[in-house]
Amino acid sequence: MTYWIVWAGLMGLLLLTVLLNQFALGIWGTPLALLIAGLKSVLVATFYMHLRHSPGLIGLAAGAALLWIALMFLLSWADFLSRS
């Protein structure tokens, strides 16, 4: 039953993404899309990848991966802003 609820939540977020794409949101379009994508990834990682009930070492590895991705985005953004 839990998987069906999570699936329905993912479909709802997908529908929200498609509907928000129909409007001209200007500067808020990308942050909203990234927020929705982040919520979808949390749902998938928590329930479908079973991170909710996994041992601490698996959670530590997932956290390290998220930290690494955040660092790569930060460094890429810094490089982008430093160019003229």
Q: What is the structure's pLDDT at 59?
A: 87
Q: What is the structure's pLDDT at 52?
A: 86
Q: What is the structure's pLDDT at 75?
A: 96
Assigned token pair, 58? 């698996």
Against a cut of 0.85, is the pTM above it? no
pLDDT at 82 over 90: yes
Question: Which DSSP string corresponds to the chain?
Answer: -HHHHHHHHHHHHHHHHHHHHTS--GGGHHHHHHHHHHHHHHHIIIIIS-GGGS-HHHHHHHHHHHHHHHHHHHHHHHHHHH--
pLDDT digits (tens, 9 = 90+) for 8-60: 999 999 999 999 999 988 999 999 999 999 999 999 999 999 988 889 899 89
